[in-house]
A and B are shown apart, each in its own frame.
Chain A
C-alpha cells in the first residue's frame, strides 16, 4: 500500500538547510494498523505530511497504492488526497458553518459525486452519529466532532486513513471510543496510519514505528495489540 524509498526532507530556515527526515525506507502493506511515535521534532509530523500528500519529499520516492506520487503537481496531489486518503486531525478541522452531514460530504463535493447527502448519512451511521446529521460542530461534543471527522475521512472509501493525534484533544473515555472505531475499521480491512506520542494509544495498533531526529529508530510488531474497552465500529 505504502512504500517509501530513501525519503529525505530538508527545510530551509534563515538560509540554513535543516534536515527533517533522513533516509527513510518504509513499507506498510494493505490492511495494516500502524502507529508512528516519536517526540516533537522527531520528524513524525513531516513524515505524516508527506504520507498524506500535503507535502513533497526533497529526495526519494513515495509509492502510494502502486503510484509514484513524489513528483506530482499541487492539483494532482489534491486529487490523490481526495480519492485515496482520509484524514483525521487532532483538532477535528470541521467547517463551523456547515452541518455534520455537510462536513462529511465535503470530499464528495470536490469529487463531483452523486447522492452526496445519502452517502454522508451512511458514513455517519458507521460512526453511530446519523441522528446528529443536521447539527453544527459547535452543538456537538469533542468525541462527536471527531466521529464526524472520521465519517468524513471514510466517506470516499479511501485505501488509506491517516490520523494525526486523533485523541489528543479528548478525555480518556472518549479517546477509547475513538480508538474503538479505528480498531473496527482495521478489522473490516482498512489501512490506518496513526501518529501519536502516547505509548498506550500507540499500543492499539498492530505495529509501532518510532522516529528520532528524522530517522527511523525502531519498528516493532505487537503480538497482542490493546483493545478498546467499549464502543467500536459495528
Chain B
C-alpha cells in the first residue's frame, strides 16, 4: 500500500509543481540557515583550534591576550605592542624552549591588481616548526630575499626571480621605513593555513624595512657636492640627498649594517617551543614571576575564550533560525491545510470508491514526507555547497 501511496503522492507533487516547489524551497531555506551556520562554525572551530593546539606558547608585550595570540597564529591581525629580540634571546637562554621571532608590521605593495600581503620576518626554525617546504625555487638565504606563501604568490602573480616592494606603514614617515625591494627566491607549498597568505623573510630584512638596518653610499672626499651639506679636511656631512638603498644587491649588501643593540630590535611576538612539558611549565612559571612587562600565553586557552564568545553568538543565530523555522512551519501548515480543503472533493472521491480515511491520510502524509525529504536533501546539499564555497572565504576572514 505504501508503494501505491508513494506513487499517487509523486503524481500529485508533480502536478501541483509550483505549490510543491514553493513549499520545498521555503522549508529548505528554513533548514539551510541553521545547518550552514552550524557547519561553518564547526569549520571555523576546527581551523582555529587546530593551529592553536599546534602552537605551544606565544610570548609578547603585555596587553590584549587575544590580539597577541591571533597575531602570532594568523600573521595578519594588527600588530600588538612591540616586544624585542631580547625576549627571544631570554627564552633561548633559559634552555626551556626554542624561540622563533616574529616581526609582522609591514605589508607588501599591491601587485597584479591584488592588495598587498603581510611580510613576516622570522627565522628558519619557523619553517621546520610549521612543516613548510619550498615548492618552487629555494629558501631565502641572504638579506633582502623572501619566499611567498602559495596563495600569496597566486594572488600577486609572482614567482621566483621576481621582486616585490614593501609598503611604508605611514606615507608621512620621514624617519626611515622606506620601501624595500625584496627578491623572491621561492614559493612555498600550499598548507591551507595562514602561512599561504603571507611573504616570509628573515627578521633582519624586516628590520631593514623598519629602518633599523640600512646600507648607503660611503661618503668620501670624492662624493659629489650636491650630496653633501659640508666638507672640510676632517669631516664630511651628508645631505638628505644620500638615500639608503631601496634594494639589497650583491654589490651593496656589504654596506648594510644595523644601528643599536640587537636585543633592542623590535619583534611583534615570539613563538616558544618548549623541550618538554616540564620545560613548558617552568617557562610559564618564569613569565609569571620574572617578566612583568611581557606575557607568555597558551594559545589553546586564549582561542577557547574567543570561541566561547563566538559560540554564544551562534546560539543567538540558532535561536533566530528556530523562530524563523517555527514561523515557516506554521505558514506551511496553513498552506497545506488550505490545499487539503481545496482537495476535499478528491478525498471524497477516494472514500466513495472504497478507500479508508486512514489510507487517504497515508496518501497525503506521503506527499508531506516527500516534500520534507526533498527539502531536507536540498538543504543539506546547499549547506554542503555553501561550506565548500565559504570555507575559502572563512579562511580568508581568519588569515
Physical interaction between A and B: no
Which residues in A have some Cβ–Cβ distance to B below 8 Å?
none
